[in-house]
Structure formats: structure tokens, C-alpha cells
Chains A and B, each alone.
Chain A
């Protein structure tokens, strides 16, 4: 009996499966914190610069609130990120030996260029407001954001090489075949890199924008005149509108690049089993028998189709273009169900974000976002959805590439550590799952606490509900008067 994802139940203790599950769990949680740094960095710079430029307290308040969130996310990101750097060696020792020249370099560049920059200047951003001049404080926020972006850049350099490897040759060394770096520029700037980097950074910005919009909507819902949170809300809606539209167009082009460079992944994204011209786009594809659950090459699917659309999208406009089906490849398919549904969740959410952006733009033109309960509720409900889209998108990228750890060069199973025992691998899997799960839950809990104490500040307990309370008039800038004196 195997799972829908193609892994046998009896293999749960298999060290390779346990190692992969461990990496997946660790990355799923770490990516939230990493994306938080990437997406929040530019917002922090904006708040700090505006605070110093205008001297307005609302920006100081936003800077304080989101610096706290950033710092917490950074610590969680460090705590969850350091083990990831070591898991290449512990669980994928063969991969690390074979691809060390291509992967080790970018990872060490990440540490040298990004981590120290981020860690050192975050100390100043957190504790140094009174210790350094204003211009230097602003510069520090810029360095922190730059650090987050450089870190993402080098990680994606390593990942993009695994998707579209270039600039190396396979040589014999010490009795085994290893990849030797021959052309650094080709190896670092692979065909995939620009696509992956732009798509990932946009996704991070959209995810964080939705969180900011959701939090701001919550406060504005309870205090319509809070200048602090209306400022945040407006900024978030504008960014959301621009970035979500951009991401849809960019994503479309990116999918075409995937169809060209990793046809098997593209076929899994679209659940296309047979090579065909004029391929239909499956909006839904569900196996009609239980046997098909554990057979990724199943053909007995129930599908809802849009004629020719898959060919149209893959080729950039030709409805009769040929799409290579999964059955063409004479090695294992990726777990199609996981890739197919992850892709649909991501794309569906992407369109929802465009809708939210347009709706917000319309509200802005019509004289304000704060008047619409329905829109504020929609933003609150959508706060975590950016991260859902980001994680499912990452699943498409990583699971869709299977069975390869390096596309067309090395299988994931061949990259695993040889001789690792089931007991060791399972023990560390359970430990990692527990620690990472706790980190994520604690993070969410503490951000809720921040929101709660901010709400108490905005709404004194005696004020009643925000819509008609006495604080809706002259007391509208509660945030401006008490800033710096509390928390």
C-alpha cells in the first residue's frame, strides 16, 4: 500500500524517505521566516525613511511594531535556518560530495555577504535607535533588508543550478564521479535563476503585504480613524495591486520557461500523461479508481477541461502546440497529485490576490478603504494566504523536479547519505518536526500578542467598540500621542 504521493507506508522508516520528509518539513517552516525577512525588509526601510524624513509619529509606530515582528521572525529564521545548512551534510552526504563545488560556494557566499550584514545591523536596528545618528539608523535598516535579499539570491543560485545545471563537468575524483566547476558565471547565473529569483521575491513581498494588510484591516475595523493603521493599509493595498498583477504575468512566462527546460515537471503540473498537440488544460483532475492513487502514470482520470488551453499557455499563444506527456519519460514520474494540486492552489490564490488588489484600488478611488466592512474582512481572512501560495509554489518547484535532485544528473535517492540507520533518521525527523512546529506556533502566538497589545493601546477598554466609541473623533491619533512611551 502506498500513499497518493508515491511513498510506501512501510517505508516511513526508510532513512532516505525520513531524510526527505525532514528536509521538507524544515524547509516548509523555514521558508515562512525567510520570506518574511525578504518581504518585510523593504517595508521597514520605507517606514524608517518616512519617519526620519517627515518626523511623523505614525511611521515611528509602524517601524516599532514591524521591527518587533521582523526581529522575532529573524530569530526564528536563524534558529530554523542553521540546521538546514547542516542537513545537506547529515542527510544528503552523497549529494554534498558530488555537487559540493557548485552548492558549497553559493552557500558560503550567502553567509559571507548576507548573514553577517543582516545579523550585525539588526542588532543596531533593534537596540541602537538612541545610540547612532538618524542617517545611520536608516542605513542600518537598508543593510538589514539588503542582507535578506542577498541571502535569498545565493540560496536561489544554488537551487536554480539544481533545476538547470550549467558550467560544470563530471570528473573522477577519489574513485567517485563529482561535478567540477568549470565556468563560474554559467554555473551561478543559470537559465532558471532570473525566473526563480523574481518569482520568489515577488511572492515574498505579496505574502508580507497580505499580512500587513490583514493586521492593518483588523485595527482599522476596530478604529476607523487610526492614522497609523490607515497609513499601513493604504501602502499595503497599493503594493498588493501592483505586485499581484505583475506576478500573474510573470508567472505565465515562467511556466513557459519550465515547459521548455523541465518538460516532465510541466506535464506533472498539468497532469498530462500522453503527449498531445492541442492539449486541454485540466482545471480539475481526479483519479476515478483507488488503484490510480498509487500509480502516477494512471490514465483513468476524471477531468474538467478547457480545450487547447494547456498548449496555448505552454507555447505562449499556439493552441495546437505539442505538450510532452509524463509517459514519454522512461524514469519515475514526480508525485503528480501533489504537484498538480499545489500548482492549482497557487494559481487560484494568485488570481484571488489580483481580485483583492483591484477591489482595494477601487475602494481607494471611491474615497477610502476603511468604509467597507466586507473588504476589511476579506483582507483579514486573506492574511495567511500569501504564504500558502508561496509554500505550494515551492512544492511545485521542488516536488515537480523529482526524481532528480540535480535535474537529469543525479537522483534524489542517489544523493542521500549512505549507511544512515532508520532509527537515527526517524529520531531526527521527529525532533525537527517538533522543534520547527513549536517555532512556527510560538511565532504566530507572539505576533497575536503584539496585535493584542496594540489593540489595547488603540482601544482603551472603556472605549466600547471602535465604530462609535468616543475615540473615533479627536482621539483618533492615539498612536501618535503615546508612541514610545509604551511597549
Chain B
């Protein structure tokens, strides 16, 4: 891969602009997995909640999920804008998986939105099922896609993809529990702390199982990152999980939320760091080969530098307007 980098003679105004865009693409992916992870987690924890608790969970989730989901659109379009060949290859290579992700998101979105529209038990039951199924399947399929991308796998369904899918499902459960602990009070809050505790242990277990699977059970199925990189990622995961569990037990809810965000950060950084300088390992495409021309990248950069701070501002505003505990009547 390193020879490929030096082959390029194209000049960018900032020498490392293509690499910055590579980092930005993964930062947006991370923001999406974190923010919609809250929502997926709420959707999965919803399965075990009763009537009143469900109303409260909807009240916490209602105002923010649509804005959270937009990060997926941003991820897709930013990838398209900066690395069009990667966008095209990835989506067409994993054609049915993409439609499975989209279908899960539709189930989640329609289930939660339509629930409030009619007041009948049967209607609520159907919508709830759709909401829970979508919230569970979406992170699973997303994990499969991310794994296939990172490890350059041509086949869509394989052990690595399933392991990473399960990893994202567990991460989302912890994220959802952390979010609901901040947004609720009373019994529901205690339950969520408990699920968050279990989920954190589960996340570490699944992460270790996934790594062991790659190394022991099915070596060679996927190009492995170096031992040092893997060790750092495992260490980081265990450290953030441990910090989170301590904060969880001490009822420092925001500290816990930050630790969970740390888990997501480790996950995405590991992907990006061990993938580079490739950006599409299956097609053996490097960042420099796949990136758009300097003019296009400059225009993209100007728009991103101008608008991404504004987007962060919208989120600060949205989350602060709807801060404080959610109550069932709000929705």
C-alpha cells in the first residue's frame, strides 16, 4: 500500500487533506454509531419494559432520534463526496446487506412514529414489534457491513461479520441504558443502571470472543491487524468498560455516558487506524487513489469547516431544550 501512496503526484493545499477526510468519514461514522446507538439501545431495552415505562422511553427518544439518524445520511454522502469509488464499491458489493440495514431502519422509524397515531392495543403491539425488531437488527447489520468493509471480505455473511454485528448490538444496549439512566427517574432508572452494568460486561465478553474467533477459530479469514494494535484496542475497551462500571455503581451518570462514548471511540478508531492507508481493502484501493481531485476536496472542505460546527451547535441546542427527565405525558 505504501508504494501506492507515493505514486500519487497530485498536490493538495494541505498535504494531508485526503487523510483528514478519511479521518472525518470515520468520525462521522462514529458519531452515528454513538448517537443512533442511544436510540437502538432504547429500542432493544423497550422490549422488557411495561406500559408506562414504554411511554417514558418514547418521550426520551421522540424528539432526538430523527436528528440522530441524519448522521447516517451524512456518513453516506460524505463517503460519496470524498471517496466516490469506495461508496460505489461498498454499497454494490454488499447489496442485500444495505437493503437489510435500510429495512431495519424503516421498521424502527415507522414503528416508533406510527405508535402514537392510534390508540388501540393491537396497533400498539404491531408498532412495538416493528420498533424492537428494527432497533435490534439495524446495529447488527451495520456491524456486519463495517466488518466486511474493514476486513475486505467479499462474502457478506461470515463469522467475522456476525461477531462485529453482535458487538454493535451489545454496544447499543449499553448506550441506550446509559441514555435512559440520564433521562428517567425511579424504578426505570434503577433497572437501566442494572442493564447497563450487565451490558458493559457483555460488551467486553463479545469483544474478546470476536478477537479470539479471528485469531484462533478462523485465522486467515480476514487480514489481521498487528498484535500491538489489537492489544491497544482490547486494553482500551477493558479500561473504558471498567471506568464505566465504576461510574455506573457510583451513580455518576454523565461519567458513565462518557466512558461508553469511549468504547465507541475505541471501536471506530481501531477500524480506521488499522485500515489505512487502504480505504477499500477488498478493492485494494488506497486513500490517495480513491480520493477526489483537489478542487472537489477543497470545496468539500470549505463546506464541512463551515457547517459541521453549526451541526454540533444544533445538537447542543436540541439536547439542552429537551434536557432533564422525560415523562410519559410529553410525547
Please list the residues of chain A having a beta carbon within 8 angstroms of any beta carbon in chain B.
72, 74-75, 78-79, 81-83, 85-86, 88-91, 93-94, 96-97, 99-101, 103-105, 107-113, 115-117, 119-124, 126-128, 131-132, 174, 180-182, 184, 417, 419-420, 424, 427-428, 431-432, 435, 439, 442, 446, 449
Contact = CB atoms under 8 A, between A and B. Distances in A.
B81 A107 contact: yes
Contact of B78 (A82, A108, A419, A431): A108
A79 B300 CA distance: 26
B81 A424 contact: no
A420 B110 contact: no
Contacts of A109: 303
A180 B299 CA distance: 13
5 contacts: A100-B80, A101-B296, A105-B296, A108-B81, A126-B62
Contacts of B82: 104
Interface string B291-314: 011011001100110011011001
B117 interface: yes
B98 interface: yes
Contacts of B70: 78, 111, 115-116, 119
B88 A100 contact: yes
B74 A111 contact: yes
Given A123-B66, A417-B92, A131 B77 contact: no
Contacts of A439: 106, 110
B317 interface: yes
A75 B330 contact: no
Interface residues of B, number: 60
A291 B244 CA distance: 73
B308 A112 contact: yes
Contact of B299 (A86, A120, A184): A184
Kindly list the 3 A-B residue pairs having the minimum CB-CB distance in the complex, ordered from nearest: A100-B84, A89-B91, A104-B80
B88 A79 contact: no
Contacts of B110: 75, 79, 439, 442
B113 interface: yes
Interface of B: 62-64, 66-67, 69-70, 72-74, 76-78, 80-82, 84-85, 87-92, 95-96, 98-99, 102-103, 105-106, 109-110, 113-114, 117-118, 285, 289, 292-293, 295-296, 299-300, 303-304, 307-308, 310-311, 314-315, 317-318, 321-322, 330-331
Contact of B95 (A96, A119, A182, A424): A424
Contacts of A420: 92, 95
Contacts of A103: 80, 84
Contact of B80 (A79, A83, A96, A113): A96
A96 B88 contact: yes
- Secondary structure at the A interface, as helix, strand, loop or mixed, is helix
A107 B289 contact: no
A127 B92 contact: no
B117 A101 contact: no
Contact of B77 (A111, A123, A132, A435): A111
Nearest to A182: B295
B87 A89 contact: yes
A99 B62 CA distance: 37
A105 B82 CA distance: 8
Given A83-B102, A89-B88, A181-B296, 16 more contacts: A86-B98, A100-B84, A104-B77, A105-B300, A107-B81, A110-B77, A111-B70, A113-B303, A113-B307, A115-B73, A120-B67, A126-B62, A181-B293, A420-B95, A428-B99, A432-B99
Nearest to A92: B88
- Secondary structure at the B interface, as helix, strand, loop or mixed, is helix
A91 B102 CA distance: 14
B315 A120 contact: yes
B261 to A, nearest CB: 20
Nearest to B110: A79
Contacts of A124: 63, 318, 321
Contacts of A127: 62-63, 322, 330-331
Most buried by A among B73, B117, B289, B300: B73
Contacts of B289: 174
A108 B77 contact: yes
A115 to B, nearest CB: 5
Nearest to A423: B96
A181 B99 contact: no
Contacts of A432: 99
B253 to A, nearest CB: 22
A78 B66 contact: yes
Contacts of A74: 66
Contacts of A78: 66, 69-70, 109
Contacts of B292: 100-101, 104, 180-181
Contact of A116 (B64, B67, B304): B67
A123 B109 contact: no
Contacts of A131: 321-322
Nearest to B10: A173
A86 B317 contact: no
Contacts of B113: 72, 75
A97 B88 CA distance: 6
Nearest to A126: B63
Contact of B92 (A89, A99, A112, A435): A89
A449 B117 contact: yes
B80 A108 contact: yes
A104 B87 contact: yes
A96 to B, nearest CB: 4
Most buried by B among A81, A94, A117: A117
A85 B77 contact: yes
Contact of A85 (B66, B76, B95, B106): B76
A128 B321 contact: yes
B92 A90 contact: yes
Given A101-B292, A104-B77, A111-B77, A90 B322 contact: no
A113 B66 CA distance: 16
Nearest to A180: B293
